Amino acid sequence: MLESDIRKTSFFQLVIMYTIVVLFAILAGYPIFWVIMSSFKTTQEYMLTSKLALPVRWFYQNYTIAWRDANFAILTLNSMFYTSVTVISIILLSFMAGFAFSKLPMKITPILHGSFIIGILITIQCIMVPLFLLVRTAGLFNTRLGVLIPYIGVGLPLGVYLATEYIKAIHGEIIESARIDGAKYLGIFWSIILPMAAPVATTVAILTTTGTWNEFMLINVLVSSDRFKSVPLGMAMFSGSLATDYGKQFAALVTGMMPMIIFYVIFRKQITKGVSAGAVKG
């Protein structure tokens, strides 16, 4: 809002706007605060006292026990590996495909592009069973590669769509000038297309990072060994069909969500710029 607009806005309107903003901030922040407070309670205290009350006795051991029993050190390293490899792969592959689809058209381009776009409409639940059978048949069950390939495949459709639509807006004269100067298409991609598409690449990186880090269903089906599990599986370890250790469960939830909170705090400006600049106009 411009300074002149603020001056024209009445005091009553400002109060209403700030009240709404504060209300939404409370609605967004209180669940996180509640989980953190509950993580310092024992299961007995959580069950016998008010769920909204602060801990009577702060039980810090929930975190050390949850970290040890769920083996969060290994799970965190696995999640970091899966997320980093998936993000890098999706950005490179989707922008290479987007460059080809938007600037190097062929007769088969509409079919190939359409096959990627259809993937946006397919949910993970629809492909979970055939994907499990395919991974097991290929001998990739209980391997990191068996997790990475589906992660990359699931994230590519949206990445290709965003990359293609954004690169379409880049003037073709730039590519033609580079070609006249003797540049190869691969060099054009690295030197011109990818730097110019940095805003939407940031958007793809943000969506892929949060989606991969929080993914639960696929990896729960594709691996059974603790060596290859990720943080979301560790977060669910203390919740069972017959009983739940609430203190350890909340501590595991806080441990699992803290990296994403830190990620947002550090890169909040880049996230805001990437989402706004990477928006695709219809």
DSSP string, 60-85: THHHHHHHHHTTHHHHHHHHHHHHHH
Q: CB neighbours of 212 closer than 8 A, spacing ≥ 6?
A: 82, 83, 86, 87, 151, 155
Confidence (pLDDT) at 276: 60
Assess whether 114 and 219 both reside in one domain.
yes
Assess whether 105 and 178 both reside in one domain.
yes
- Identify whether 190 is part of a domain: yes
Tokens representing 52 are 């909204």
Q: Find the farthest-apart pair of alpha carbons in the chain and give their distance in angstroms, rounded.
A: 76
pTM of the model as a whole: 0.84
Q: Which residue has the tokens 């990896």?
A: 219
Confidence (pLDDT) at 13: 82
Task: Report the DSSP beta bridge partners of residue 239.
Answer: 244
How far are the Cα atoms of 50, 95, 106, 232 from residue 236, in angstroms, in the given order? 23, 35, 48, 7
Q: Which of 38, 61, 84 is the last residue of a domain?
A: 61
Confidence (pLDDT) at 84: 95
**Count of domains in the chain?**
2
Assess whether 33 and 142 both reside in one domain.
no
| pLDDT tens digit at each of 282 positions of the chain | 445 555 556 778 888 888 999 999 899 889 999 999 999 999 899 988 888 888 988 999 999 999 999 899 999 999 999 999 999 999 999 999 999 998 887 888 888 888 888 888 888 888 889 999 999 999 999 999 999 999 999 999 999 999 998 898 888 888 888 888 888 888 888 988 888 988 889 889 988 999 999 999 999 999 999 899 999 998 888 877 667 788 899 999 999 889 888 888 887 777 776 666 555 444
Q: CB neighbours of 203 closer than 8 A, spacing ≥ 6?
A: 162, 274, 275, 277, 278, 279
- Identify whether 282 is part of a domain: no
264: containing domain: 70-277
Q: Which helix (H) or strand (E) holds 203?
A: helix 198-214
- Identify whether 204 is part of a domain: yes
Assess whether 95 and 134 both reside in one domain.
yes
214: domain CATH number is: 1.10.3720.10
- H-state helical runs in 104-143: 109-121, 124-137
- Identify whether 49 is part of a domain: yes
Q: Which of 61, 83, 111 is the last residue of a domain?
A: 61
Confidence (pLDDT) at 241: 64
Confidence (pLDDT) at 232: 92
Assess whether 119 and 75 both reside in one domain.
yes
- H-state helical runs in 122-193: 124-137, 144-168, 172-180, 185-188
Assess whether 135 and 254 both reside in one domain.
yes
Tokens representing 17 are 């706007």
Assess whether 227 and 100 both reside in one domain.
yes
- Identify whether 87 is part of a domain: yes
- Identify whether 224 is part of a domain: yes
DSSP state of 193: I
Assess whether 216 and 138 both reside in one domain.
yes
